[in-house]
Amino acid sequence: MSANPGAIGGAFARCRREKRAAFIPFLMAGDPDLEITERLAVALAEAGADLLELGVPFSDPIADGPVNQAAANRALKSGTTLARTLDLAALLRAPLGIPVVLFTYFNPIHAYGIERFAEHAARSGVDGVLCVDLPPEEAAGDYLDSFHRHRIDPIFLLAPTSTRERVRGVAAVGSGFVYYVSRMGVTGERGALPDGLAREAKELRRRLALPLAIGFGISTPEQVAAVAAIADGVVVGSALVRTIEASIGRRDLVERVASQARALATATRRSR
């Protein structure tokens, strides 16, 4: 089974019709093990997730803060690899019913082989790939060719420091959506959203045809509601991963994460 072309765009379009932003939770595949990740993913979809961002554990996650770094270490210790993450995506495709986006670094893809990775990802039903350390100008050639051939959306990051040239580059070659990093630095929960975020989002949405999802540092329903008012999608990662970490060994781990996700998903509904 290949990836469903347009599934990501379709999810954002449905959210627009329902007057809400897309809720995009993040899970690290294999944290604390693949069986629990599978159960968590299904629970998040049932709790209101519109897309699932599935992290590929990597030994040098430079864009991740301490919480997600620890999750990656737990996943690696549990034996999770890129290949096993893709196999998990295949298991999830039918029960989830929502698009799956892989969050990864380029090193695992390069080691696996770009064409082999794209083929396996498509066969597993992966809809998009966000390679956080690969800028659009370096994706030209084999990377984009393989993704287009297998109908996988290449998703790229923009940040407050992104130049006009970078914005144009992402707009030219990206598809699915654009991931906007709300602040400089690594992933992790923050007490408040950065000043100027609404202005930056408005300017980017004016210049981009693709949906704009905002992540990094969003952790509470109040923060989700604020971002939902200015963006097409809201990504929440570290807050959920922290709950997983705090709940390892507990019988109610999945329900604790699902309860948190339900509150976050509810907050994506706009008042007007």
Q: Which residues are catalytic?
A: 53, 64
- Helix ranges, the chain (H): 7-17, 34-47, 66-77, 82-96, 106-112, 114-123, 136-139, 142-149, 164-173, 197-207, 221-228, 238-247, 253-266
Please say whether the beta carbons of 158 and 132 come within 8 A.
no
Q: Can you tell me which residue has the tokens 């989002």?
A: 201
Under DSSP, is residue 86 helix (H, G, I), strand (E, B) or coil? Answer: helix
CA gap 109, 260 in Å, rounded: 32
Query: How many helices and strands in the chain, by DSSP H and E?
Result: 13, 8
Tokens of 13: 């379009």
Tokens of 59: 């030994």
What's the alpha-carbon Rg for the chain, to the nearest Å? 17
Per-residue b or e along 100-135, where b marks 16 or more CB atoms closer than 10 Å to that residue's CB: bbbbbbbebbeebebeebbbbbbebbbbbbbbbebe
Q: Can you tell me which residue has the tokens 């959210």?
A: 15
Q: Which of 134, 77, 140, 78 is nearest to 104 (CA)?
A: 134
